[in-house]
Amino acid sequence: MSAPRPPLVVAVVGPTATGKSDLGLALAEALDGEVVNADAMQLYRGMDIGTAKLTPAERRGVPHHQLDVLDVTEDASVARYQHEAREDLAAIAGRGRRSVVVGGSGLYVRALLDRLEFPGTDAQVRARLGERAEQHGTRHLHDELARLDPAAAIAIGPANTRRIVRALEVIEITGRPYTANLPEQVYEVPAVQIGLDCDRAVLDARIEARVDRMWDEGLVEETLGLTVHGMSRTAARAVGYAEVLALVRGELDEQAARDAVVAGTRRLARKQMTWFGRDPRIHWLDARDGDLVAHALAVVAAADAGAGTVGDGGAPRRTLGS
């Protein structure tokens, strides 16, 4: 007699400021679950205010995993996250509880749930490509990427040196297009995904209010404290922290820094919605729904009932504010 199949993992995804953390917590309480973070910046210890991380008291006794697991001097790694977060999922299932994945970092969600293998790295290849970028400019490398993998060049902007170098590194290491290594929309971990959507004007207002709250709670002071031992490139580029660092360097005044955080967060929300909007497996709910938790639980119940076919799609694609 085969062992019973673990319950479907529940994932709450979508753009920032839609209330994913609150919904994920409510679902974990209702489903006897534990939360697994899928926000790349919430992996970092000390990056609390700027990432809207729930405080220990706000977690209401629900165990949370993949929070505060990196020092800000470390670079985050999707491959490392995949390995460690999947171990968390297995441990939660072993305790007979439900995993509730919560976060808006699209690649991290896909790496956790979907069939995705990570090519290795080659420090010499990466260093050589980095030197070429410095000598000839990022546009030169982007043109090469466009020749070798046009789809990757379209997806990666010509100013994104880090991602262009990585794409060319993968092509050289594997002998295959970079896009061949991107995740398939095929679950490695059986799951049901719930996306939170929101009217654009409402979301913009939420973002502005969130930034005001972060500033009042001490985002500038938090950032200054993190710079004592230095911040990795990954941590220092995080929306909110990057703009405060520019303020500290004297490149922006305080109002300009606040405005830049708002603008950067809005851009992030658009990018997140574009990413998640491409996935037809996501069941979209209105973030303003007064019965949001009940409707989310209904989605989970329906997925549980049809678990043999979960992941075969059906939910419509969405764009922000649709």
pLDDT in tens, 230-243: 999 899 999 999 99
- Give 3-state DSSP helix, strand, coil % of the chain, rounded to 5: 50, 10, 40
pLDDT at res. 216: 97
Residues 215 and 132 in one domain: no
Q: Is the pLDDT of residue 318 over 80?
A: no
- CATH number of the domain that 289 lies in? 3.40.50.300
Q: Is the pLDDT of residue 56 over 50?
A: yes
Residues 159 and 29 in one domain: no
Residues 158 and 106 in one domain: no
- CATH number of the domain that 155 lies in? 1.10.20.140
pLDDT at res. 20: 98
pLDDT at res. 155: 81
Residues 34 and 152 in one domain: no
Q: 230-248 burial by CB neighbour count: b if 16+ within 10 A, else e?
A: ebeebbeebbbbbbbbebe
- For residue 71, tell me if it sits in a domain: yes
Q: Directed axis angle between helix 254-277 and helix 200-217, to 10°?
A: 130
Summarised one tens digit per residue, pLDDT across range 131-167 is 999 999 999 999 999 999 998 898 888 888 988 998 9
Distance of CA 277 to the CA centre of its chain: 14
Distance CA(312)–CA(193), nearest Å, equals: 12
Residues 215 and 85 in one domain: yes
Residues 243 and 103 in one domain: yes
Q: Which domain holds residue 69?
A: 9-116+184-305
By residue count, the chain amounts to 322
Reported as a pLDDT band with limits 50, 70 and 90, residue 315 is: very low
Residues 55 and 150 in one domain: no
Q: Which parts are annotated binding residues?
A: 14-21
Summarised one tens digit per residue, pLDDT across range 103-118 is 999 999 999 999 888 7
Number of compact structural domains in the chain: 2
Q: Is the pLDDT of residue 310 over 80?
A: no
Residues 174 and 201 in one domain: no
Residues 85 and 196 in one domain: yes
Give the angle 260-264-270 at the CA atoms, nearest 5°: 150
Count of other CB atoms within 10 angstroms of residue 135: 8
Q: Which parts are annotated binding residues for substrate?
A: 16-21
Please tell me the pTM assigned to this model. 0.85
